[in-house]
Structure 1
Amino acid sequence: MSNLQRLSINSETIKQWSLEELVAGCVDAGVPGIAPWREPVATYGLAKAARLIHNAGLTVTSLCRGGFYTAREPAERKQALDDNRRAIDEAAELNSPVLVLVSGGLDDRDLKGARGRVADALAELAPYAGERRVTLAIEPLHPMFCSDRCVVSTLKQAFDLAEPFPKEQVGVVVDTYHCWWEPDLDDQIARLGAAGRIALFQVADWITPLPEGVLLGRGQLGDGHVPLRDIRHQVDASGYQGPVEVEIFNADLRKRNGAEVLAEVIRRYRDHLV
């Protein structure tokens, strides 16, 4: 057995590759899953991308991304909701069970109000997603991204937002890069798992010092401080048996040969997660 049967490669990890190159590279390496972002899918063409991935025998583990629900202005909110409906339709076309959501940041100082608008957007979109058999997966981001990118910062906050909806409609992403620091991580993973709310497990490492461009500062597996295998064991023990999706935003990785990066990811996955 190759022990890669749960591995999925997020397209941002090897962003220098086109969608076609990512599909071919994963097939050649024996990686069964991919997680494309919407931009490369749109560049390639949605229907064409769906055929490409299906014909290659790969599984789409998630589509990134929806969200950005926190704008106050009605026209901006409508635009965001319309775009999220398109994203749900795209996920359904790709046979992706999950649409990853990044909630959006602040355009003022009203953090409580922004989080309330996230809940309002979920109430509007969850039934639409459910009809298309797509789970909206709330991804809490590390608090350093709260002001500009994501007002949902902890697994508990994400669970509380998801709980009013059927688990088939709204779940939570457990991303090691964003949640490893949480003081009650074990309890929150167990709580999510018991409720069937872990929609996706993503992995990357936390390195210090942080690079100047923080957004592109995720570490290669094993290069940082995150107890990757321990967290994977916790997630598995909670009942999750889905894919392990490698999503690494890293400027240096994007400068390298894509095949070399993929081979390194596979080695590190075996060394630090299997």
Structure 2
Amino acid sequence: MSWAQVIVLSVVQGLTEFLPVSSSGHLRIVSELFWGADAGASFTAVIQLGTEAAVLVYFAGMIWQILRGWCAGLLNKQARGQDWKMGWMVIVGSIPIGILGFVGKDLIRDNLRNLWITAAMLILFSFVFIVAERTSSKSRGFEELNMKDAVVMGLCQCLALIPGVSRSGGTISGGLFLGLDREVATRFSFLLAIPAVLASGLFSLPDAFAPATGQSATGAQLLVGTGIAFVIGYASIAWLLKFVAHHSFEWFAAYRIPVGIIVMVLLALGVLQPY
């Protein structure tokens, strides 16, 4: 990979990771459009460590509180409060994508990266956002989160293995269908991503240097790319939380659908190649 490609894709990753527009889909599209090649799932997974580090820093207080409460609950039954339950919800909700990600890793790195699939998912899943927004009561707060919510949102997170769907879009939509407040669903979506993204990035790190599919990157490139994704991702979290407090996710559907259509047109004209 060239340095220009690494920098541009890292900026795209930071801007899109937390928005329900599919960061993996955007990385796939931008890489193919400007460099005529797929950067690869391994590169994507590694620079996602930067945006996930932004989550760890931004929510450090909440994460520490949950960790402390979960550990205290292991040692003392009387200490098993909301933080104890929240810790288990994050763990249980992360299991589905961990299993599917490991079992289907070859499919994820190859077949599912077809740009026709990415464009179709950008369009089709936008309607899921619209339905979720229009049917959700948005009446349930953070203290009302339960294990059922974690399991359902964890299953929805698995959809993010398909570029174009969006991890945050899938989990937040699942939360809205369950009646969660939009901001509550968004915050839990961030927490739910931590184990999955960290595991994926660390697992893919060796492959990023010499991938079976996609392009290779040097250690310096991966380090710089991760740093760029961290800085921009941190700012994106703050912006998104303010946005969802007052705006519908239908705004993102209004962006995704035209992008998906444009990608399909470029594919049909031969400007973009599906692989």
TM-score, normalised by the number of residues in structure 1: 0.27
Higher helix share: 2
Higher strand share: 1
TM-score, normalised by the number of residues in structure 2: 0.27
